[in-house]
Homo-oligomer: A and B are copies of this chain.
Amino acid sequence: MSGTQVRRMIPVEEAMAQLMEMAEAAPIRERETVLLAAASGRVLADDLVATLDLPPWPNSAMDGYAVCLADWHGEPLTVSQRIFAGQAPEPLAPGTCARIFTGAPIPVGANCVEMQENAVVGEDQRVRFTEPLVTGQNIRPQGQETTVGDVVLEAGTRMGPIELGLAASLGRAELDVVRRVRVAVLSTGDELIEPGQTLGPGQIYNSNRVVLCNWLERLGCEVVDAGILPDNLEKTRSTLGNLGYVDLILSTGGVSVGEADFLGHALREEGELSLWKLAIKPGKPLTVGHYRNVPVIGLPGNPASTLVTFALLARPYLLRRQGVQDVVPLRFKVPAGFSWSRPGDRREYLRGRLEQGQAVYYSNQSSGVLRSAAWADGLIEIREGTTVALGDWLDFIPLSEVLG
């Protein structure tokens, strides 16, 4: 793909397949051992295999009384022991019951727990049951959750609170995880200045930098903020040359065939460069290449285009670099609360919401408008070449599925 410009429009699926192939060709192989609490957002390097049964022994699901049904014929029972959670019980003495509390181990010999609400303690302290008892009732069997040797989480799983809880329940205080992906964020555009500075003529504030740096952090990446690329080939070369240690250079704001395109020039000089025309709206131009041996992805610079291409293409690429298999966001079918009469040649992702169960979109869908995305709860997909009638079913991708 070196140096060529692909003229035809690339469908989203094809771009995705190529990016996945590129990601799998450059997996992050380094791993590190981290404390459980520090593993949030990280990717498991190995399968998490159960080294104990969960629960480790049958236990009571209720506060009540443990009984052996085989040697009980309805008579009131003496309480021979009290078993709190965290205690090791004695075997159940024949002809007695045990007072037992939720989570406590079932004593050997007992095969039923009756809840205290169905028990009456007489004046002689013996216990009578008011309902029929059934073998196994209110007992959580050993290994109900997990048995030794089960693969509880596969390598490549991203660790959220639930996954951390599973690892904790198996007694794991540390986990082996894949090294974070190091991503350098570069903005291009001589019109950009940073927030807090005074706007000069022709200047606008750089918003993509904070969007991408924050988003990458949420994805568990190590972010190298490489600032705004200077308007100068020599400085561009030197900035890129200093990024040899990162796993990806992520730029925004257009590599083009135009004049004053120093990033494109530098990439052609010491790397390779494809300019993809994606069949996606917003977000047509995507740059994919290498500088020396560092992969480069260049997202379009308009804020809504940056958002959509990052969410749908760069995010899966970064996750796959870490070995995550499940990189595609959930999508749901929703009825259109609008009609759409102009079939496009690109797949369109409207920034939209659900209102009264119907998908509606923000009035201004310009790629320069970020408010559309702040207003939105998700992306409404309109496939290329299609029109939409009110009530037609469309795919909706919740933003929550791609923001973390």
Q: Which A residues contact B (CB, under 8 angstroms)?
A: 36-37, 40, 52, 54-57, 61, 63, 84-89, 101-105, 140, 144-146, 152-153, 160-174, 189-192, 194-197, 199-215, 217-218, 231, 254, 256, 258-260, 301, 303, 307, 330, 332-334, 354, 357, 364, 366, 368-371, 373-374, 377-378, 396, 398-401, 403-404
Contacts and interface: CB of A to CB of B under 8 A. Distances in A.
Given A84-B260, A160-B403, 8 more contacts: A36-B210, A88-B201, A145-B366, A161-B214, A165-B208, A166-B370, A173-B196, A174-B196
A204 B370 CA distance: 49
Contact of A190 (B84, B164, B174, B333): B84
A55 B145 contact: no
Nearest to A55: B204
Contacts of A208: 165
A307 B374 contact: no
16 contacts: A55-B368, A86-B192, A101-B259, A105-B202, A145-B368, A146-B371, A161-B212, A163-B374, A165-B207, A165-B208, A165-B210, A168-B205, A168-B210, A332-B332, A333-B334, A398-B401
Given A37-B213, A145-B368, A204 B404 contact: no
Number of copies: 2
A152 B375 CA distance: 10
Contacts of A84: 190, 260
A63 B258 contact: yes
B214 A195 contact: no
Given A199-B52, A404-B404, A140 B173 contact: no
Contact of A199 (B56, B103, B191, B330): B56
A265 B353 CA distance: 47
A146 B197 CA distance: 19
A196 B171 contact: yes
A94 B215 CA distance: 47
A104 B333 contact: no
A198 to B, nearest CB: 9
